[in-house]
């Protein structure tokens, strides 16, 4: 057995079932070990290493398991970084495996002589260079355990000559006892101190207008969130990564917060006197209650993040679901339901507006129409991956989430391009579920070569592209927030439907809103199709009128960087700026 065999056997011991990556001469020893174990561990070949890292991150998000990606030495490893930072900032357990050049030529300006362990120092919670065949088992066990325990990125890099070296007992140091490490993963009860729970309950019981902000850490606490909301008479506001924490048909939720959020969410934040945050590090402080406005309680697994965005009175360090289960019996049901009722009334009006915009039949077709039609056709257990940019707005507002569905995008990193790789990873993990990428033309075109990866492996993913031939988010930032004319944002058109056919998939193009629903039905047959469906929607925007509108608002509010300007522009304008094109990047949570 050689070093690469030990690596693969260790990964199998940790329950790894799939690896996303691209071969290369710096990692081919590991590739041979994977070939010999291909009946136990699946290798998904990608067209770009960045996509492999995104797939590993998406796999971790959707399964809770360790996502694994692999790349060769030098440029292959470098290409992983953006996807690994996505995993780091959204706290997903990912293991990256890379190759190095021959161990006795490292640091001598040899070909592809990049010290990947040094390069990866910032992105990793565990990062180690293998020093020999007898080092592999120890390092792999610790890398897997650390990534899963601390929900972050681990990295193992192996010199190419070590990969094929046989493991011999005589190679071990006297302290390196055979099989002294373990593949056992342990978890704590993750519950806060009882005294802190009582202090938190006192604050929440005393509040008259309590609001709940739920993030990705609350995705497994749906029932508990609704029970807490019922007891407190509190609306549940969702950070974007917490979109699926509570279904949008829940009577308690006001949907998203932030520039792509809802008016009732923002009003609840502005009016509350008590705030309970559950599993969220929502980064946009300007949308939080003003310091001194409200008392605060935060439930957070990572004690380092307590009080990160708001001066909380009590921090509860623990798992969201378990902590809420301990907290709820200490709460008293509020008789005054007026705060929640006001939010519910606001949401009725909000959904009327969303439906009105989602059912428009004028041309050119509006992106809200596509999102609305898509939302109606998603299965109850659909897995939806979005991208960053204006596409995130339509996903956040126009695509209602159902109980049992999973929805995600790049939260804190807010990078473009992961929508397609996430969806591929989701379909690999859940072959029988409906997996959909809802992406923009800018983000999709960055990693569009991996469309053919889905075709190659017969993954029946669905890709819905909003095509407006522009970097819409950046255009908005230039025009509305800076008050400058747009520059450098137009994209040369691509016929994505023809591209799909060239890859061996199926492509459709829709320009008429009356055809949108019919074509989506062709993309979502009752049974999973073996090929890809792409729906391309051409969206045109009246840039001149938008620019003039932004100038008018600048004249009224001065500098457009303040929250007062943003609130007016995106929530309270009688003719909101987002009627045709709307910001925003994806927002963490």
Q: What is the pLDDT of residues 47-99, one digit of tens each?
A: 999 999 999 999 999 999 999 999 999 999 999 999 999 999 999 999 999 99
Q: What is the pLDDT of residue 536?
A: 47
What is the full DSSP assignment across 161-198? HHHTPBP-GGGS-TT--TT-S------------HHHHH
Q: How far apart are CA 6 and CA 398, in angstroms?
A: 49
Q: Render pLDDT for 339-355 as a digit per residue (tens, 0 to 9).
A: 999 999 999 999 999 99
When pLDDT is cut at 50, 70 and 90, the band that residue 506 belongs to is confident
Least confident of 291-305, 463-477, 514-528: 514-528
Q: In angstroms, rounded to a whole number, what is the distance separating the alpha carbons of residues 562 and 557?
A: 9
Residue 557: pLDDT over 90: no
Stretch among 167-176, 225-234, 298-307, 450-459 having the lowest mean pLDDT: 167-176
| Residue ranges in 290-448 assigned as alpha helix (H) | 320-327, 338-358, 367-377, 390-398, 419-429, 441-446
pLDDT band of residue 576 (cuts 50, 70, 90) is: very low
**Considering only 18-27, 106-115, 153-162, 572-581, which range has the smallest mean pLDDT?**
572-581
Binned at pLDDT 50, 70 and 90, residue 480 comes out as confident
Q: What is the pLDDT of residue 174?
A: 66
Question: Are residues 443 and 416 in contact, defined by beta-carbon separation less than 8 angstroms?
Answer: yes
State how far the Cα of 198 lies from the Cα of 314, in Å rounded to an integer: 10
User: What integer pLDDT is reported at residue 528 of this predicted model?
Assistant: 45
Query: pLDDT tens-digit profile of 215-246?
Result: 999 999 999 999 999 999 999 999 999 999 99
Sign of CA dihedral 350, 475, 424, 222: negative
CATH architecture of structural domain 359-579: 3-Layer(aba) Sandwich (3.40)
The pLDDT-based confidence of 203 (bands split at 50, 70, 90) is very high
| Of 208 and 542, more confident | 208
Q: With H, G, I as helix, E, B as strand and everything else as coil, classify residue 78.
A: helix
pLDDT greater than 70 at residue 147: yes
Residue 420 pLDDT more than 50?
yes
Q: How far apart are CA 53 and CA 55, in angstroms?
A: 5
* Per-residue tokens: 200: 């938190």
Residue 247 has a pLDDT of: 98
C-alpha to C-alpha distances, 9 to 69, 158, 214, 465, nearest whole angstrom: 16, 16, 39, 40
H or E element in which residue 124 lies? strand 124-129
Instruction: Give me the pLDDT at residue 103, please.
Output: 95
Confidence at 190, pLDDT banded by 50, 70, 90 = confident
Q: For position 589, what pLDDT does the model report?
A: 55
CA distance 314 to 200: 6
Average confidence score pLDDT of the chain: 89
Q: Cβ distance 69 to 20 under 8 Å?
A: yes
pLDDT given for residue 535 in this prediction: 55
User: How many whole angstroms from its chain centre is CA 510?
Assistant: 28
- The closest of 297, 275, 279 to 287, measured between CA atoms, is 275
Same fold, 194-344 and 359-579: yes
The CATH code of the domain at 3-171 is: 3.40.50.970
Q: Where are the domains of the chain?
A: 3-171, 194-344, 359-579
Q: How far apart are alpha carbons 371 and 464 in whole angstroms?
A: 9
Maximum alpha-carbon separation in the chain: 78
* % of the chain surpassing 90 pLDDT: 78
Tell me the pLDDT tens digit for each residue of 353-412. Answer: 999 999 999 888 999 999 999 999 999 999 999 999 999 999 999 999 999 999 999 999
Give the pLDDT confidence score for residue 168 in this predicted structure.
Answer: 81
CA separation for the pair 477, 458 (Å, rounded): 39
CATH T-level fold of 194-344 = Rossmann fold (3.40.50)
How many other C-beta atoms are found inside a 10 Å radius of the C-beta of residue 562? Answer: 12
Confidence (pLDDT) at 183:
73
Q: How far is residue 216's CA from residue 199's CA, in Å, rounded to a whole number? A: 25
């Amino acid at each position: 057995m050689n070093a690469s065999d030990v690596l693969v056997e260790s990964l199998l011991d940790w329950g790894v079932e799939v690896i996303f990556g691209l071969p290369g001469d710096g990692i081919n020893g590991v590739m041979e070990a994977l070939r010999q174990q291909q009946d136990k561990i699946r290798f998904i070949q990608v067209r770009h290493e960045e996509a492999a890292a995104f797939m590993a991150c998406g796999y971790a998000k959707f399964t809770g398991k360790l996502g694994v990606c692999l790349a060769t030495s030098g440029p292959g490893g470098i290409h992983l970084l953006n996807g690994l930072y996505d995993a780091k900032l959204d706290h997903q357990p990912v293991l990256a495996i890379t190759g190095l050049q021959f161990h006795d030529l490292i640091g001598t300006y040899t070909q592809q002589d990049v010290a990947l362990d040094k390069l990866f120092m910032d992105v990793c919670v565990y990062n180690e260079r293998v020093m020999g065949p007898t080092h592999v088992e120890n390092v792999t066990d610790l890398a897997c355990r650390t990534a899963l325990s601390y929900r972050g990125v681990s990295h193992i890099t192996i010199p190419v000559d070590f990969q094929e070296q046989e493991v011999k007992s005589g190679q071990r140091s006297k302290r390196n006892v055979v099989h002294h490490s373990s593949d056992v993963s342990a978890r704590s009860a993750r519950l806060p101190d009882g005294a802190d729970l009582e202090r938190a309950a006192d604050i929440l019981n005393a509040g008259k207008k309590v609001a709940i902000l739920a993030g990705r850490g609350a995705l497994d606490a749906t029932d508990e969130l609704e029970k807490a909301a019922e007891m407190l008479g509190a609306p549940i506001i969702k950070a974007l990564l917490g979109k699926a924490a509570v279904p949008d048909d829940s009577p308690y939720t006001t949907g998203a917060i932030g520039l792509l959020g809802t008016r009732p969410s923002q009003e609840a934040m502005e009016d509350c006197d008590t705030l309970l945050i559950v599993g969220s590090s929502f980064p946009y402080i300007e949308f939080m209650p003003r310091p001194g406005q409200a008392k605060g309680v935060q439930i957070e697994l990572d004690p380092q993040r307590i009080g990160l965005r708001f001066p909380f009175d009590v921090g509860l360090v623990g798992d969201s679901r378990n902590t809420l289960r301990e907290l709820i019996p200490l709460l008293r049901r509020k008789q005054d339901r007026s705060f929640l009722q006001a939010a519910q009334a606001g949401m009725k009006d909000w959904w009327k507006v969303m439906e009105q915009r989602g059912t428009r039949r004028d041309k050119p077709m509006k992106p809200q129409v596509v999102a609305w039609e898509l939302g109606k056709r998603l299965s109850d257990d659909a897995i939806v991956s979005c991208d960053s940019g204006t596409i995130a707005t339509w996903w956040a507002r126009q695509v209602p989430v159902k109980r049992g569905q999973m929805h995600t995008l790049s939260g804190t990193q807010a990078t473009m391009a992961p929508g397609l790789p996430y969806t591929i990873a989701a379909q690999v993990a859940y072959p029988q579920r409906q997996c959909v990428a809802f992406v923009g033309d800018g983000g999709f075109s960055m990693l569009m070569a991996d469309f053919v990866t889905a075709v190659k492996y017969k993954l029946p993913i669905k890709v819905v592209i909003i095509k407006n031939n522009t970097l819409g988010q950046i255009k908005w930032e230039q025009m509305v927030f800076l008050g400058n004319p747009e520059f450098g944002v137009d994209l040369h058109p691509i016929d994505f439907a023809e591209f799909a056919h060239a890859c061996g998939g199926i492509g459709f193009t829709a320009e008429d809103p009356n055809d949108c629903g019919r074509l989506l039905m062709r993309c979502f047959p009752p049974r999973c199709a073996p090929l890809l469906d792409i729906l391309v929607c051409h969206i045109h925007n009246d840039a001149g009128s938008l620019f003039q509108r932004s100038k008018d608002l600048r004249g009224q509010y001065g500098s457009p960087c303040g929250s007062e300007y943003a609130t007016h522009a995106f929530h309270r304008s009688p003719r909101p700026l987002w009627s045709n094109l709307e910001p925003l990047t994806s927002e963490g949570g």
